[in-house]
Amino acid sequence: MASLQMHHLAIKVRDLARAEHFYCQVLGLLVQRRWPDENGQGDRSLWLDLGAHSFLALERATRDREHLAEEEPGLHMFALRIERGERQAWIERLSRAGVPLYRQTDFTIYFHDPDGNRIGLSHWPDSYPQN
């Protein structure tokens, strides 16, 4: 059997247009495909290219729900890979876009999308093998 690799990650968002602006204009992802809703009244889903034959699916939510607390089971966050030398440029880009960082570690900067989904921009430690 072949080893498993990421195919896609799907997240629910309240406002698809607002999410598209954030993920495309702020983070620089490109729309790979749009899926219309059943009535042809707009998009129900956007697929954003993550490279390596994987994508992030933004799915229009049909109702609100409370966000999970940090300690509860469920999706904690997802992280996108950046190069170590790009870290400061990403911090500045997010700041210019009005996106506050909520945490930083030596390898990851953390923030939220407009719907409160946790996102990280991560790079490998210098000593970590990069295959």
**Per-residue pLDDT tens for 20-56?**
999 999 999 999 999 998 888 889 999 999 998 999 9
Give domain 76-131's CATH number out of 3.10.180.10, 3.40.640.10, 3.90.1310.10, 1.10.10.10: 3.10.180.10
* Mean pLDDT for the stretch of residues 61-66: 74
List, in sequence order, the alpha helices (H) in 1-131.
16-20, 87-96
At 8-19, the pLDDT tens digits run: 999 999 999 999
Distance between CA atoms of residues 61 and 14, nearest Å: 5
Q: Which amino acid is at 129?
A: P
Report the CATH fold assignment for 1-62: 2,3-Dihydroxybiphenyl 1,2-Dioxygenase; domain 1 (3.10.180)
Q: What is the pTM of this model?
A: 0.85
- Quickly count: other Cβ atoms within 10 Å of residue 56's Cβ: 20
Same fold? 1-62, 76-131: yes
Domain residue ranges in the chain: 1-62, 76-131
